[in-house]
Amino acid sequence: MILDNETQVTEAVLTALAPTPDRRLHEILTSLIRHLHAFLRETRPTEEEYYAGLRFVAELGKYTGADRNETIIAADTLGLSTLACLLNNTIDAHRTDPALLGPFWRKNAPRRQNGDTVVYSPTPGPAVFVSGRVMDTNGAPIPGATVDVWHASPIGFYENQDAEQADYNLRGVFTADIEGRYWFRTVKPAGYPVPVDGPVGDMLKATARHPYRPAHFHYMVTHPGYKTLITQVFADDDEHLESDVTFSVVRSLVGKFRKHDNNPPADDVTGPWYTLEYDLYLEPGEMRIPVPPIP
């Protein structure tokens, strides 16, 4: 199409997309073009502003590599990831609510026995003894369910971000027993900031937002015949529950971290220690394993 004015640009692009053989792809691209063009018409960015936006997108790629996925961090901090998650997994009282996979899941974490620790190198912090059951939406146990857990250290770093931690520290894969139970030992996680030395950090600073996530455990729970559950369980004493930078805190996912001062379950525990009991409910469906954001 030869243009006579700017109003014809959108029509020209949509006409070019018309032969797209994949109809779902055509639907998505058509909607994307309409919304992007409407955004430009509404905000009318200067050419300098427009190219600054493109540089932001290009910088996301530059800061994405083997140990960090800046594009996911950007989507998380803009609320896109949580919205996509909840559109596909609506909040439901009958099964555990979902939360983001996040940019730090690693495949092939060590297989552990129930009751084992996931602390593989010196990691100072209060001990936490985590337990719960994996059940279906009717409350029946799911023996053999795989419970993959990972979390940040008490100073707010995942092991791939911290040279002081052993490989796969604070990560482990457990198998629910005949009653659907799982249990393990770890240290109490801390809240942490998303990386701020790249374009996402620049965006947060420009919009006067803090970069912090509340302390949480990540879970991926799987069993054939059930939909993969990807979720997070948040510490109820964290100051950033109401202002999570990724907008991920669903009320049902706030766990009760109970503090104890005496009678620890292990001889090497000194000082205060914690317990967390959290049951996980799976719904019938297809078990799918996501592509790891990092190796």
For the segment 121-149, the average pLDDT, to the nearest whole number, is: 97
In the predicted structure, residue 66 carries a pLDDT above the cut 90: no
Residue 102 has pLDDT above 90, yes or no: no
pLDDT band for position 295 (50/70/90)? Answer: low
Confidence band of 293 (pLDDT split at 50, 70, 90): confident
Residue 67 has pLDDT above 80, yes or no: no
Which whole number is the average pLDDT over 78-88?
93
pLDDT of residue 126 exceeding 90, the answer is yes
Residue 215 Cα to chain centre, angstroms: 12
Distant-in-sequence contacts of 289-292, Cβ < 8 A, 24+ apart: 289/107, 289/222, 289/228, 290/101, 290/105, 290/228, 290/230, 292/105, 292/106, 292/107
The percentage of residues in the chain with a pLDDT greater than 70, rounded to a whole number, is 99
Residues 190-217: tens digit of each pLDDT: 999 999 999 999 999 999 999 999 999 9
Indicate the pLDDT class of residue 123, thresholds 50, 70 and 90: very high
The stretches of 44-102 forming alpha helices (DSSP H) are 47-62, 70-77, 80-88
Contact partners, residue 13, CB within 8 Å, separation at least 6: 33, 37
What is the residue whose two structure tokens read 């054939």?
224
Cα separation, 22 vs 219, in Å, equals 34
DSSP annotation of 107: S
pLDDT higher than threshold 80 for residue 261: yes
Supply 116's token pair.
Answer: 């084992």
Mean pLDDT of the chain: 95
Question: Is pLDDT of 93 > 90?
Answer: no
Residue 14 phi/psi, 5-degree rounding, is -65, -35
Q: For residue 91, is pLDDT > 90?
A: no
> Mean per-residue pLDDT for 250-267?
94
CA-closest candidate to residue 148, choices 178, 170, 174: 174
Q: Are 128 and 215 in contact (CB under 8 A)?
A: no
Tabulate helix, strand, coil % of the chain (nearest 5). Answer: 30, 20, 50
In whole angstroms, what is the distance from residue 286 CA to residue 226 CA?
A: 6
The residue among 17, 42, 44, 21 whose CA lies nearest residue 32 is 17
> How far is Cα 239 from Cα 245, in angstroms, rounded to an integer?
12
CA–CA distance, 183 with 128 (Å, rounded to integer): 11
